[in-house]
Structure 1
């Protein structure tokens, strides 16, 4: 879609003009004339042409803003990112927020050489499928239909960093982030930040890397949130009708604490005899994506631990939830838990657990197209400001995708929406063809 628009300016001039207008709330939050010049220049540099999206090549391509100015803005300028993060959440909510939206928790790795860049350490990188020297960012993605908007990226600090005060000080890590926090703990703090800002969503999604922690699932429930998360095949569960009883013994003292009247078994074994159904959850590039699914109501074995006879320490029944299984065509089997209501249809459950894929697309596009992993500084502040600018750039591009989809829908002869007017799911399905490649409308 390069070249000139009909009767108007070039595409390059068009998107830059749109960007200046779209950034107005962000520039207002900066409250500084010079910074209000640097922010559009940085975001435009991330979006524009050029393979490398680090500060020096972006400044060279800009021609109007110097390297020193951009570098100071990102790495050492005295300004608070929180107001801009709040504006980003508001814009994301305005675009796709609501009861049909998902809030997806995940993380993404930024491969790095050396040991000076903040948070860098040998750690597992899911995108690479192996342990590598990298930084890990915990991410929050708001998604509706097939439209993702990244709203949070926060650095995870391994214990090799949090146990070294000199290293933390050298990288400028703020005191309130210097203590060790697990990825689930960081994710919960980010969810709280998003909710405080008024972000609307219907369900939290996360992979097993987060939900293997019972405390993460329990914290989501304690906040009154609906969730659907991955688990391991060995996760223990009880039947949904399990009860706590006081067994009567002919000898010894009466029991002080009740015990379950059923034994907990693994998720894999629980679903082995369940009824499995072939379902399609969305259309791929050529054909519908299909797999076999099964779901049963259970009680998760993540309550307080207690000794139960010869079995020793066992977790008591916790929250009632759905146990969901997926059998893929390649023979792989996956397992999930969800606290969606008891009457939820299997197709809805399958759609929830498979909706998480869109955040991986967002990670890829932020890296390949917007230079999320191109930042060459070493400081905490610089990395997070660069990440924030990439999220702002991505949100701007998604706003253009949605506007383009809306124009396409209004064209005479265009197909009728798949959902009633006013239903956001239909609106976002129309956007699908332009969100699959986020950069398709730019030169």
Structure 2
């Protein structure tokens, strides 16, 4: 690392260092971030301390794992910096999660669970992530650990890992994501649309909570998600005998998203240029009422969910033969090309996950505590934001939201 680069980092980190309000921590924070960015394959505390003559292992370990300081001021500065770099009404806020493979059972949150990056169940920690992106430029702004029920039901494990009291109750990934979105909005983060995959999109409370917050969203769903035609009417059923019915029911049955789109008009849409030319697939979109209202017994069909919000149901047929389905509350007059562009903008968060692991050692932390893991994750996000600021400056002369050469979409491993 040349001296000019270090001076640039020190200058850029001044708002973060000021937020720490402590002389020793003001030295440790830049040293830790420089260790993440600098040379060396391993980005855990011991090898980073060994490569830096200015700090020792005990100092760096105390800073990240056991020192008494509040991460919230640094998180707020990170959100402000991300907003400066890529925020705006055309920015995406992308919800996802990423797995950190681990051995043993003592690292906080580790358990056998599905790891999307591996495409299978594995012993790992799972972090719910929030990424702000504009075009092809992502900046990670949130990483929060998901605690499986095997942890939240075991007070001894929670005590040993130092899990704070207000994080010990079980929360689903969508619930964690909503809390992170609220934190980002309270800090003034500016974005136009929330994106998420089917792991979050299948949650009706998650979609409804986004709408209640006045947010625009586009999320993946399973093909079997039930929807009603947009013109569904609520009627009083005619009672053959007994008392008259007192509750409305839909005049037609709901059907799966896949069935709703079978007779729709499909057309090829290109949403952006990749490294090998234009990226395209066949899309169809139909206005529907999503079947996520209150459950109601309907004739002899048992309990069915009543029609809820009017949204788009979207289908994607890829050249590989794979089929994907989505819901979005984008306005009814939104062109199909714009809908497809929103759906496909989510891939940049996978690029960010990959770079945080491969370049900055997100998955290299060797401690077991809640505090240490989240501080390490925060340092990697700050380091990533610094690298993005340099790339933006080099690509656009300091302009906000330049269009650098399109990076390659990461492949799932």
* 8 Å Cα contact 2:392/2:398 also seen in 1: no
Cross-structure match for 1:347: 337
CA contact (8 A) 1:119 1:155 kept: yes
For residues 248 and 311 of structure 1, the distance between their equivalents in structure 2, rounded to whole angstroms, comes to: 15
Give 5+ residue unaligned stretches, structure 1.
1-10, 410-423, 438-443
For the Cα contact (< 8 Å) 1:245–1:261, is it kept in 2? yes
Q: Deviations over 1:359-388 (max 9, x none)?
A: 000000000000000000000000000000
CA distance in 2 between partners of 1:140 and 1:432 (Å)? 23
Q: Pick the aligned partner of 1:135 from 125, 133, 145.
A: 125
Distance apart, 1:436 and its partner CA: 5.8
The equivalent of 1:421 in structure 2 is none
**Partner-residue secondary structure (3-state), 2:300:** helix
Is 1:85 the counterpart of 2:70? The answer is no
Partner of 1:7: none
CA distance in 2, matches of 1:284, 1:436: 7
Match of 1:428 in 2: 402
Q: TM-score, normalised by structure 2?
A: 0.97
Give the 3-state SS of the residue equivalent to 2:325 in structure 1: strand
Structure 2, unmatched stretches of 5+, are: none
Q: Report the Cα distance in structure 2 between the residues aligned to 1:407 and 1:129, rounded to whole angstroms.
A: 40
Q: Give how far 1:249 is off.
A: 3.7
With the length of structure 1 as denominator, give the TM-score of the two structures: 0.91
Out of 252, 261, 271, the residue aligned to residue 261 of structure 2 is 271
CA distance in 2, matches of 1:379, 1:249: 61
How far the C-alpha of 1:251 sits from its partner, in A, is 3.3
From 155, 172, 177, give the equivalent of 1:165.
Answer: 155
- Does residue 376 (structure 1) correspond to residue 366 (structure 2)? The answer is yes
Name the SS of the counterpart of 1:317 in structure 2: coil
Distance 2:393 2:253 in 1: 55
- Report if the CA contact (8 A) 1:146-1:428 is conserved: no
Q: Partners in 2 of 1:269 and 1:131 — Cα distance?
A: 30
CA distance in 2, matches of 1:283, 1:323: 25
Match of 2:88 in 1: 98
Q: 1:5-29, CA deviations, whole angstroms, 9 ceiling, x for partnerless residues? A: xxxxxx7222211100100000000
Q: Which residue of 2 aligns with 1:217?
A: 207
- Structure 1 segments of 4 or more deviating over 2 A? 247-252
Counterpart of 2:394?
A: 404
CA shift, 1:321, in A, is 0.1
Matches of 1:428 and 1:114, distance apart in 2: 44
Q: What is the Cα deviation at residue 252 of structure 1?
A: 2.7
State the alpha-carbon separation in 1 of the partners of residues 172 and 141 from structure 2.
20
Partner Cα distance (2:224, 2:408) in 1: 35
CA positional deviation for 1:208? 0.6
Alpha-carbon distance in 1 for matches of 2:191, 2:397: 26
Aligned partners of 2:388, 2:337: CA distance in 1, in Å? 28
Distance across 1 between alignment mates of 2:6 and 2:219: 40
Counterpart pick for 2:381 among 373, 388, 391 = 391
Any conservation in 2 of the 1:101–1:201 contact (CA below 8 Å)?
A: yes
> How far 1:432 sits from its partner (Å)?
3.3
Of the three residues 281, 287, 294, the one matched with 2:277 is 287
Task: Report the CA distance between 1:406 and its aligned residue.
Answer: 1.5
Q: Distance in 1 between matches of 2:34 and 2:41?
A: 14
How far did 1:263 drift? 1.1
Number of the residue aligned with 2:26: 36
Q: Find the aligned partners of 2:41 and 2:239 in 1 and give their Cα distance.
A: 74
Structure 1 residues 390 and 41: CA distance shift in structure 2, 3 A: same
2:59 maps to what in 1?
69
Alignment of 1:199-214 (within 5 A): 199-214=189-204
Give the equivalent residue in structure 2 for 1:229. Answer: 219
Give the aligned CA root-mean-square deviation in angstroms: 1.3
Distance across 2 between alignment mates of 1:144 and 1:271:
30
Superposition deviation, residue 286 in structure 1: 1.4
CA distance in structure 2 between the aligned counterparts of 1:214 and 1:273, rounded to whole angstroms? 26
Between the aligned partners of 2:259 and 2:48, the Cα distance in structure 1 is 55
Matches of 1:134 and 1:221 in 2, distance apart? 32
Matched, 1:358 2:348: yes
Separation in 2, partners of 1:274, 1:80:
53
Task: Tell me, in whole angstroms, the C-alpha distance in 1 between the residues paired with 2:64 and 2:408.
Answer: 30
Match of 1:440 in 2: none
Asked whether the equivalents of residues 113 and 133 of structure 1 are also in contact (C-alpha less than 8 Å), the reply is: yes
